[in-house]
Each structure stands twice: as C-alpha cells, then as structure tokens.
Structure 1
Amino acid sequence: MTDADLPPTIRRISAVLPGWRTAQPSLRVLLVIHSATAATRLGDLIPLFQDPRIQLFCTHTSDAMFPYGIDSFIQANEIHQLSWEQATALEFQVAITAGLGDNLHEIKCPILRVPHGNGYNKRWTGDRRPATGDRRPVFGLSEETLKHAGRLVPAAIGLSHDEQFERLAEGCAEALPVAFLAGDPCHDRMIASLPRRLNYRHAFGLRPGQRLITVASTWREDSLFGVDPLFTSRTLRSLPFDGYRVALVLHPNVWASHSAFQIRAWLDESLRAGLILLPPEEGWRAAVVAADWVLSDHGSVSVYAAAAGRPVLLDQSGRGMIDPRSGLGRLFDVAAHLDPHTALEPQLRRAEELRDRTHATAAAMVSSAPGRSLRLIRERLYAMMDESPPGAEPPVLAVDAPAVDGTTPASLWTSVKRTGPREFSVERWPAAVTGAGPGVLIVADHELDHRLAGTADVIWTTREALPADEPTWSASVFEHRPGLTLTLVRDGRHAVLRSRDGRGVKVSLTDSGAAEPVFAVLAERCVSGTRDLAALSPLTLCFGGEQTVSAVFSAISL
C-alpha cells in the first residue's frame, strides 16, 4: 500500500508509515480516554507498553462530557495523540479504555475495558428499568452500559473482584464469557506507596505532631462537596492548626465541570488558612497514604483508603447510588458515618475504633488479585493480540509526591495559657476562616489580606525576606499599622522582637527544630505583658494536649 492508498487522515502519521518511521513495531495499541479520571486509570497501565513490539497511541472520544484534563494527561506522558477521526480510521490490534459509552463503539478493533474506580459500585443514572425499584443497573455491569444497538462493545472486561462475576451475570449475561479477573492496579500502586508515607507527609509540609485529615469528594450534586461545599472551611476553623492539617481531594469531574479558577476561588479562604488542595490529575493517592484519617463519600477513594488501613468517616448523602453488594456498599455497612455539622474530633476517635473492621472489609473486597493486576491485564492484552508477553514482570510503581496548592497560614490567632512556672498550653487558629479569634493575632509580612494585616498584634518576617535592615523595616511597619504592638524577625534559631517604642530583644535558641512556634509564643507573651523573656527559659509548650515542645534560650536586650 502506497501513501496515496491511505485515507487522508492517516497520511501524516509517520509512526505507521514505512519509509517514514524508524522503529518497526508490529503491534498498535490505542488508549481511548473518556475523562481525566479514566486517563489516570489508564496511566496505571503505562508499564505494560515498554515492549519494543508495541507502538502506543492515544485519543479521546469526540462526545466526551468531561474533556478537561485529557489533553494535559496525554501531553504530560508524551503519547502519540490521534484525533477521533484518525483513531477510527487507523487499524489497531487492541484498544484499551477505562470508560464506556460516548462513541466508543466506532473503534474498529477489539476493546479491552479495565475498571474505572473500584468495584463497580455505582448504579447507572440513566432510565430506570420498569418496576425494579432500587434494582437499577450497575454502571459497567449492565446491558445499558456495555452494549450499543444490541451489540456488546468490549471484547474483554476486567473485573477487580470475584464477586463481580455474579453481578455481571445478572446485568449482562452475554458479557460473562469475555470477563476476566483483572485485580486493581490503582490499589496495587497504593499498597506499593505505603512505605513512602513520610515522604508524602514531608511534601505536604506536615510538622512533627501534626495529623492529616484528607477530605475526598466524588462528583455530582449528592457528593460531599456538592452537598456541603463549606465543610473544609468549617473543619479548618474547628481544629487547632498545630494539631491538624487538612487536605482536599476533588474528583476530576468537579474540576472539569466548574474550572480550576472557580474551584480555587470557592476555596480561597480555606487555601489561605492552610488547606492542602490536591491537583485533579494525581496526588490523591499520596494524600490518602499520608493521611491519619480520610473523610469521604460514595466515591471509590473510600474503599481505597480503608483498604490501605486508614480510618474512614463516610458521608451518607449519596449512599443510595451504591449497589449494597459492592465493596463500597459493604464498607458503608461497617464504617462510621460522617456528620458534617457536629464536633469532628469525637467522630475521628470513633473512626479509629472501627479501623480494624473497615480495613478488613475493604481489603477483602478491593481486589481478588492483590499485587497481580498488571500481570493479569497484560496476559489478557497479549492474548487478544495473539502474541506472547515479555518475560519480565511489569513493575508496580509507587506514586510520586505531588505538587499541591496551599501553604502555611500567614495569619494565626495564638492563644497561650500558663499551666506551670515555665509551662504553657498553646492553641493556634487560622485567621482566614476564624474571624475574630482568641488570643493574639500574629500575621506574616507577606499577608495580602489588608483586613488581617491591619488588625495584627504582631507582624513577622524572616531575615532573608527583609526589604531593608531590621530597625528600618520595623519602623516602617509600625508607621503603617497603628494598632500593631510588636514586630518579629526570624533568622534560623535567632529572632529579634521589637516594640513600638523601638526597644528590642534578641532571642537565641539552643536548637532551631521548633523555632517557629516558640518565637510565636514568645511574641504572644510580650504582647500579653511579659517583661523578662529570659525568665521563661527552659520553656515547655503543649500543643493540643498531645504535642510537647521544649526550648532553652537566651534573651538579650538591644
């Protein structure tokens, strides 16, 4: 066949044209992407395509409801991208997809369908079957979702757990012969990532003693974020900063529906209060592994978190969408229920009490082939291509630490109570979501919210960030902030505290490990009337009743 014999859409694809390509792969594989979520699941299969016989291509369905993030996934992985017109004109040995529907049926080669999410949990939201009540078909296990015009679309259907064969037989018996046990590559990667927990916590900026609450929401109006978009803000407001950090995972479809701009605009106060916002492409798995608790809903994150041994609290708003026989349905039966409008800490303790039960339930249901998913999917892939797979086992890769939105709060209400001669209990609260709080307001010089900076009791900076020498900077800050009492300049284990009248004191710690909270407390003591800071050394601070910091320091008047 000459170039002239090829369809016009194919003539410019050098990777398939003899005489124009360099390598000579004999197997063409197409990834068909329906959404960013599906893209990340296909991304878990990337180690399968290292075979020099394979040339990988990628496309997305022309009717994709949530195209946001698909192109960035393809570009980030630098996969050869085809238009839908090209993908439907070119011949492939196999197409692989994690989605269903749209115009998938137009692909002219055998289609291998891998799970989208865990466990085929959700009932299909299309038309109900007549007179079946809540026995709605399950997405991915029903004729409504597997067939087009009476024809079964996938040639192979991967199931993560043995229990799904029975539900598939009920929903689409014709598909049972092409179903195979595939395990769950997402779960396998999470288990492989568990030893990197400290790496993820470091990437999220967690300090020793801080516990991480990861809040995860699926999409649609009955999701946790859909029902209660202010939940993370209330959580940040209700928990002391030194004891807790909060991370938020939103389903990629939330980003696709509303835009990254709008998500960050809605969460602006929470981000300034220290919220860790995970990107839609990846990062949620690191946030689950790093977490001390996971607060979620009827999304698959709940199962993955519990299977990884994390205590879970589950919002009930969308439970009606879930097949009770699925892994997530069974997890709902044994997990603590999240009440977003009552005190959170008692609920966290209850989740910890139930951890063994939720872990056992989820671990038993998340996969019938733990650690073997890539091997099983590869076996089916090569069988469909009538080829032998490579001899080496495909690697199961831990996830990378993600880049995240969110920083340490620039403004903290600091409440200090004496519990002994040199012992104090300390609680700090992010001012961006607290409003008028208890104690002294300590604000960073880089705080852009004029309301907070204008009402600060203390303004601090680091020596590296000073725009002038320390006395000049302090004088300027006092000039523009008439209500300000104290400035603080930190320099490693040293700090200079200066009052409005120009008097200063230099504090030097013997150890810089806990310099930031110690200097904040000493600033609060100055504002509260302490004249002799040196008399407070050695100092013991208790944060949240559990974390204790000790400091030995000197204080010299300037």
Structure 2
Amino acid sequence: MLVAVRSAGALHRLLDVLPAFDGDSRVVTRFTLVPGSRFDVDALSALDRAGARTLPWEEALRGAHDLILAASPKGELRRLSGPRALLPHGAGFNKTITDDGSAGVPSGLDPHYLLADGGPWAGLHALAHEEQVSRLERTSPVAARHAAVVGDPTLDRLLASAPRREDFRDALETGPRRLIVLTSTWGPESLVSRRPGLAADLSGLLPYDSFQLALVLHPNEHSDTGLFDLSRRLAPALSAGLVLSRPHEEWAALLIAADAVITDHGSTALYAAALGRPVIDAYDGGHELIPDSPMARLLAASPGLPAAPELPDALRAALAVDTRTLAAGAFSRQGQALTRLRHHLYRLLGLTPPPGPVRTRAFPRPSTAPRRPSAFAVRTEVSGERITVQRFPAHTREHVHHLAAEHPTAGQREAQSASVLWRRAQDTAAHPHSTAWTVWTAGGWTAHALAESPACRTAVAVLTPRRCLLRHRAAGLFSLRLEPHRDAGRVSYADPAAVASAVHAWLGTGASHAPPVSLLCDTGAITVRVHLETAVADDLDYEL
C-alpha cells in the first residue's frame, strides 16, 4: 500500500486512517511525497517523525501498487499505478481556492481533479456525510458512482478523546480559567492574514487569571511561514501566555480543552462545533467560503467579533447557539469511520479484513508548555478586606494600579519599574552535579530586592503554592498562608504572585496592618483566602 502525500496536512489526515490496517502483517505501508505543492516543506520531516518508510517519487512511479491512499487529487497522482482511494482533506468541503480548478467549486468535489480520461480518478471517494455525496453528484456524477459515506475518522478520534478534557487542560496549565482557542485556515482570507494582531489584542484585554488563549493554525500556514517567523510575528501574544499548537494532533487536544473557539472560515471549527464548543465568527468575508456549506451555515448562526473588545458580548451570545446541531450537517456515521473504511479499503485490496473490531486511537496529551509571563500590569480594587485583582501583560493599554515582575526572568525595564517583585523558590535538584552552590534565604532576598530596586515597594518570596514571605517597604515583614479554592470536590490554587499583588494593594490603603489579618482575594476565576501573620523563622530562613 502506498500513501501518497502532498503536504504535512494531507499526511496528518491519512495517518488517522491507517489504524484500519492494524494487526495485519499482509499490508506493507510505504509513503511517497507527490511533487508540486508549495506546502511540501514540512511533509518529509513529518514522515520522519511518524517513523514512516518512504519511496522516492520516481521509484513510486516505476512500480504497481495494490492500493494508493491520498487526501488530495491534485498534482501528478494520476501517474501512479494501482487502485486509488481518496479521502477528504478536512471537515466537509467549504472553501474554493481562486485560480485553482473550477471556479466556485471546492477542489475535493471538482471534476477538474476527480476525472482522468473521462472516467473517475479514484475507485473509492470516502465521504463524511450524505450531503457531500449529493453535492458531488451535482458537480461530477461520474465520480459520485464511487462515493461512499464512511464518516470522519478524525472526528471519531476527537469524540474518543473527549473524556480526557481535564487531563489536556492540566497539561496546558489552564486551571479554572476559560480557554479561548483561535483557529485560522491558510491563504489571503485567513484569520492570521486578515487580522494578524487579534491574538495580541485579546491578550492585552483579557485578564490573565480569568482567560487562557491558544492559536491553532492550518498546517499549510506552519509550512509556508515556518516556526521561526511565526514565533517572531506572534511574540507579544506568546510572551503574554498564548499557546501555539503544533500542527499534528495537538490542535485536536486544544479543541477538546477549549471553552470557546474564535474562527475564520476554516473547517477546524466544525470539529469544535461537533464537540459542542461555542463558536464565534471572526471571518471578514471574501470569495473562498462556499455558500450554504456546513461552515457557512455555522458562521451564519454564530455571533461575530468585529473587534477584540467585543469578545465578552460575543461569548455570551455564543453560549446560546446549539453548535452540535449545526455540525451534524458535516458528519454522519459518527464512531463508525474506521470500521466502514476497513470494509471498503480491503475490498480494493482484494483481501478479507482481519477479525475483530478496529480501535480508534485517542489523541495524546498536549506537550507544548505555555509560556508564563514574567511581568504583569495589575489592576486592583480594594473593598475593606476583599481585594479584586486583574493581571494583564505589561504591554496592555488598560488602566492599572501597578506593575509586578518576576526576578530574575523579567526584562530589565520591567524589573526596574515594578512596584512588586516576586521570586519563586527553586528545586535544589536543579544542581545535581554541583559540589557547592550559594542560595538566598527568603528573608535575605526580599531585603536585597528592596535595597537594590528603589521603585519596588513589595518583595515577595514564593515558597510553595500555599506559603509566601512578603516584605513591604513601609509595613514590614509578613508570612502569608494561602487557602486553596474548593468547589464540588475540586481544589484550585491561585497564583501566589497574584495574591501578592492583592496584598500589596491592601497594604497601600493605610488600613491597620497589625497581624493576624484575613483577606479575601478575587483573582479572576477563583476567590481564595489569605492569612497575614507575623513573619516566622521557617519562612525567613527558607532557601530559595
């Protein structure tokens, strides 16, 4: 069996199909890269990561194959010899590409690509929904004779992975925050092309302790731009904590972990809708979206996002939309895709399928670690012994109370301007091969920080998630004890650095600071209680 790929995105789709052959030693799989796509840059490295064995294109042309799997009919595929099975490149057929094939027809349903010498190019055209067969019959009746509705193996993987939602959120360090995922297709009408600053704008508006942002890009955008330039372009948002997903599999974990999705006209959002996630329309219009396609109907029913400040209203409106019903027009036979594909693919091979059920693999735990900001612009509101804290990236234009920065990771400008400096205790296991090293005590470092930083009013040593030592320039030394937030059997911890900013604001009100004092801190998603006590020796001597 030859798996013919033109891009990393096509390869990822086909990898979701190959478990249909699990356990069968009769089927030997080889991969080849079909020339002609500008998005083939990452395909070979993706094949290498998959551990695949490849055939050079010229060698693939010389031999006959028992089965050829492809996720795109474009390019020189028709030169390959053997029965062909064609699978969709994404969820549904929602886009037409200007100057590529027949005008106004998505390439996956375009007779320009699906017919060869007047006959059907593929012996199997595997589709996800009966509506797609009807559309294919209108554009290419000859090709439609070989169409079969099998469902969508990628959606089945998403549904099988849905029980891992909390595990995925733990890996992303989302906690009790709301995860907002931006999804972008590729090309001139994509979100990242039309609204390249949206992620940075949202990160500057949304409180860090209430929201987490992530971005899912089409694999073609990864291939065309490259990680180096993507990281440079997205630097302000990435430094504020934006999670940029890897192009293979991690995007799916982010959709499962998401609380809402902001999208252009790319079909990734249909998968989010099938999971029941609220969808917000950030597509500015154009010529690519096929009218009355599943994606067009989803966007028509979803609230729009004309500008970043309107996100709260759009989120409220999106919660009232039944996205699962809208996605049903793109997916049928849910949970059956691999079983149905196995039947059809083995028919083309002329073999009897192995006995027993075929297993749908869950998506793996995401491995991209979110970047934790090292400086925050902090807005506070003090009402007696209750303090509300909202933290934003340092580049925000929001009105704030003070700047807080982490030592030693914050930039020099932020560290010199910060009213609050904090430092987290390090694990001594970080020096496994050292014969000697020197560390600060919490008491020593907080005194040093105030002495070396004239702008600093409060220095905080974060000892554990529940203990801090705080030294205020006027009010003196305190040990802080943080209680976690408990709700329905779950325990959530506030970032001690956020609590430190709350205490700093309270100390600046001129209220009586004689310990012990108990304060309530609203840090966005959760409220925690913090106890201020006279500094104890164990905290003063705690080694950082």
> Partner amino acid for 2:38?
M
Out of 391, 400, 419, the position equivalent to 1:428 is 391
- Is the 8 Å Cα contact of residues 272 and 406 (structure 1) preserved in structure 2? no
Instruction: Describe the SS at the equivalent of 1:140.
Output: helix
Matches within 5 A, 1:136-151: 136-148=104-116, 150=118
- 1:11 matched residue in structure 2: none
Change beyond 3 A, Cα 1:238–1:110: same
Out of 260, 269, 275, the position equivalent to 1:293 is 260
- In the TM superposition, what is the alpha-carbon distance from 1:543 to its structure 2 partner? 3.6
- 1:4 matched residue in structure 2: none
Matches within 5 A, 1:151-550: 152-208=120-176, 210-318=177-285, 320-354=287-321, 356=322, 358-362=323-327, 364-419=328-383, 421-431=384-394, 433-434=395-396, 437-464=399-426, 467-474=439-446, 476-478=448-450, 480-492=452-464, 493-499=466-472, 503-509=476-482, 513-514=493-494, 516=496, 517-526=498-507, 532=513, 534-537=515-518, 539-544=519-524, 547-550=526-529
Structure 2 gaps of 5+ residues are 428-437, 485-491
Poorly superposed stretches of 4+, deviation over 6 Å: none
- In the TM superposition, what is the alpha-carbon distance from 1:66 to its structure 2 partner? 0.6
Give the distance between the partners of 1:435 and 1:533, measured in 2 at CA: 36
- Is the 8 Å Cα contact of residues 496 and 504 (structure 1) preserved in structure 2? yes
- In the TM superposition, what is the alpha-carbon distance from 1:225 to its structure 2 partner? 1.1
- Is the 8 Å Cα contact of residues 389 and 501 (structure 2) preserved in structure 1? no
Give the distance between the partners of 1:59 and 1:479, measured in 2 at CA: 64
- 2:434 matched residue in structure 1: none
- Residue range with higher mean Cα deviation, 502-511 or 308-317: 502-511
Deviations along 1:61-106, one digit per CA (max 9) or x if unpaired, are 1222211321232122212111112222233210101122121112
- In the TM superposition, what is the alpha-carbon distance from 1:515 to its structure 2 partner? 5.6
Change beyond 3 A, Cα 1:456–1:349: same
- 2:66 matched residue in structure 1: 93
- Is the 8 Å Cα contact of residues 509 and 554 (structure 1) preserved in structure 2? no
Instruction: Describe the SS at the equivalent of 2:306.
Output: coil
Change beyond 3 A, Cα 1:263–1:529: farther
> Partner amino acid for 2:499?
V
Instruction: Describe the SS at the equivalent of 1:377.
Output: helix
Give the distance between the partners of 2:317 and 2:475, measured in 1 at CA: 52
Change beyond 3 A, Cα 1:394–1:227: same
Matches within 5 A, 1:40-79: 40-50=12-22, 51-79=24-52
Give the distance between the partners of 1:60 and 1:436, measured in 2 at CA: 50
Change beyond 3 A, Cα 1:77–1:172: same
- Is the 8 Å Cα contact of residues 137 and 144 (structure 1) preserved in structure 2? no
Change beyond 3 A, Cα 1:513–1:120: closer
TM-score, with length taken from structure 2 = 0.89
Give the distance between the partners of 1:154 and 1:128, measured in 2 at CA: 18
> Partner amino acid for 1:487?
A
> Partner amino acid for 1:230?
G
- Residue range with higher mean Cα deviation, 157-166 or 528-537: 528-537
Give the distance between the partners of 2:500 and 2:14, measured in 1 at CA: 48
Give the distance between the partners of 2:482 and 2:332, measured in 1 at CA: 55
- 1:18 matched residue in structure 2: none
- 2:488 matched residue in structure 1: none
Give the distance between the partners of 2:141 and 2:346, measured in 1 at CA: 25
- In the TM superposition, what is the alpha-carbon distance from 1:171 to its structure 2 partner? 1.2
- Is the 8 Å Cα contact of residues 461 and 470 (structure 2) preserved in structure 1? yes
- Is the 8 Å Cα contact of residues 185 and 218 (structure 2) preserved in structure 1? yes
- Is the 8 Å Cα contact of residues 413 and 428 (structure 1) preserved in structure 2? yes
- In the TM superposition, what is the alpha-carbon distance from 1:148 to its structure 2 partner? 4.8
Give the distance between the partners of 1:523 and 1:49, measured in 2 at CA: 61
Give the distance between the partners of 1:175 and 1:112, measured in 2 at CA: 12
- Is the 8 Å Cα contact of residues 488 and 497 (structure 1) preserved in structure 2? yes
Instruction: Describe the SS at the equivalent of 1:365.
Output: coil
> Partner amino acid for 1:340?
A
Deviations along 1:449-503, one digit per CA (max 9) or x if unpaired, are 2222221111111121795333543455445533222221111122122245895
Give the distance between the partners of 2:397 and 2:445, measured in 1 at CA: 27
Instruction: Describe the SS at the equivalent of 2:392.
Output: strand
Change beyond 3 A, Cα 1:159–1:554: same
- Is the 8 Å Cα contact of residues 376 and 404 (structure 2) preserved in structure 1? yes
Give the distance between the partners of 1:187 and 1:30, measured in 2 at CA: 24
Instruction: Describe the SS at the equivalent of 2:164.
Output: helix
- In the TM superposition, what is the alpha-carbon distance from 1:139 to its structure 2 partner? 1.5
Give the distance between the partners of 2:330 and 2:286, measured in 1 at CA: 18
Deviations along 1:30-82, one digit per CA (max 9) or x if unpaired, are 11111111111112123123211111111111222211321232122212111
Structure 1 gaps of 5+ residues are 1-28, 130-134
- Residue range with higher mean Cα deviation, 304-313 or 165-174: 165-174
- 1:555 matched residue in structure 2: 534
- Is the 8 Å Cα contact of residues 211 and 243 (structure 1) preserved in structure 2? yes
Give the distance between the partners of 1:65 and 1:536, measured in 2 at CA: 64
Change beyond 3 A, Cα 1:347–1:387: same
> Partner amino acid for 2:479?
K
Give the distance between the partners of 1:128 and 1:513, measured in 2 at CA: 55
> Partner amino acid for 2:392?
W
- In the TM superposition, what is the alpha-carbon distance from 1:520 to its structure 2 partner? 3.4
Whether 1:105 aligns to 2:105 is no
- CA RMSD, 1 decimal: 2.4
Aligned residues: 517
- Is the 8 Å Cα contact of residues 387 and 506 (structure 2) preserved in structure 1? no
- 1:120 matched residue in structure 2: 93
